[in-house]
Amino acid sequence: MATFLEILKAILIGIVQGITEWLPVSSTGHMILLNEFIKLDVSDAFFELFEVVIQFGSILAVIILFFDKLNPFSKKKDGEMKKKTWTLWLKVIVAVLPAAIIGLPLDDWFQEHFYNYIAVSAALIVYGVLFIVIERRNKNKPKKYEDVYDIDYPTAVKIGCFQVLSIIPGTSRSGSTILGASLVGVSRTAAAEFSFFMAIPVMLGASAYKVLKYMVKVGVALTSTEIIVLIVGTLTAFLVSVAVIKFLMDFVRKHSFESFGWYRIALGTVVIIYFLIKNFVF
C-alpha cells in the first residue's frame, strides 16, 4: 500500500514537473505549494535526486520532438541545412556559458538563501508584470529574428545572460530565457524553441552534477521503492512534457505570453497568502 501511494505521488509530481518545466510559470513556485500537500516518503537527499532525475524525462521529450531539427547528420538535410544545424548547436553552447560560469557556482547559495515563499512569490509576480509589459510593448512590433536559425552569436549570449537570472527560485528557466529573447527582438516561436534547446545542456549538466553530489554524499544504493518512484516520475514527466511542448508551440503561434504573466501574478499571490495564513494560524 505504501509503495502504491508513493507511485501516485510520483505521478502527480511528474505531471507538475512536465507542465511547469516548459511553460514560463516557474516549476519552483508550483513545487513549493505541492510539497505542502503531497510529500514523498523518502529522505531529503533522495527527493533532491528525484527532482533532478525526472527532469531527464522532460529533456528527452525535447530531443525526440525536435530530433530532425537538432540532428546535423539527418539524411533529409542538404549540406547547407547541416551547416545551419551545427551553427545552431554552437549558438546554444555559447548561450549556456553564462549559466555555467556564473549560475552554477552560485546555485547552492541562492537555493539556501532564496528558496522560500517570500522570494519565490516576489519573483513570480515581478516576472509576471514584466511579461505583460514586454508583450504589450512588442505588440505589432516587427521581430528581428523570426526563425531560431536567424539568431546570431551576440543575441545568443544576451539570451544566455538572462538565463542566469533563473538561479533565483521562482523566476523560471524558460521564463527568463523567453523574456530575454523577447527583449532582444526574437519572435515568440523562435524564443520558445531556443529556450527548449538551451535546456538540453543546462539541465543535463545540472542533473549530472546533482546525481554525482548525491552519490558522494549517500552512495549509489537505492531501495526498490525508490527505483520504482524514479522510473514512474521520469516516464510521467516525459509524457506530459511531450504534450505541453506541442501545446506551447501551437499557442505562441496564435497568442502572446501575456496570459502567462497574469497566471504568474495570480500564483505568486496565492503562494504568499497561503503561507501568511499558515504562519499566522499555526
pLDDT at 220: 65
Q: pLDDT digit string (tens) for 72-100?
A: 998 888 889 999 999 999 999 999 999 88
Give the list of residues 6+ apart from residue 261 with CB closer than 8 angstroms, or none.
Answer: 127, 128, 129, 130, 131, 132, 135
Distance CA 48, CA 279 (A): 25
pLDDT at 187: 92
Give the side-chain half-sphere CA count within 13 A for 91. 22
pLDDT at 1 over 60: no
pLDDT at 282 over 70: no
pLDDT at 263: 95
DSSP letters for 212-235:
HHHHHHT-S---HHHHHHHHHHHH
pLDDT at 113: 78
Q: Which residue has the higher pLDDT, 35 or 271?
A: 271
Q: Which three cell numbers stand for residue 154?
A: 551576440
> Containing domain of residue 221, as a range?
2-281
**pLDDT, average across residues 202-228:** 77
pLDDT at 46: 82
Q: pLDDT digit string (tens) for 115-144?
A: 888 888 999 999 999 999 999 988 888 889
pLDDT at 104: 73
Q: pLDDT digit string (tens) for 146-179?
A: 999 999 999 999 999 998 888 888 888 888 999 9
pLDDT at 2: 52
pLDDT at 265: 96
Q: Quickly tell me which residue has 539524411 as its cell.
A: 75
Q: Which residue has the higher pLDDT, 188 or 219?
A: 188
Q: pLDDT digit string (tens) for 15-32?
A: 999 999 899 988 877 888
pLDDT at 125: 94
Range name among 56-65, 99-108, 227-236, 239-248 with the lowest pLDDT average: 99-108
**pLDDT, average across residues 183-203:** 91
pLDDT at 253 over 90: no
pLDDT at 219: 66
How many domains would you assign to the chain? 1
Following CA atoms 42, 45, 49, 50 in sequence, which dihedral angle do they give, to the nearest 10 degrees? Answer: 20
**pLDDT, average across residues 253-281:** 89
Distance CA 103, CA 168 (A): 10
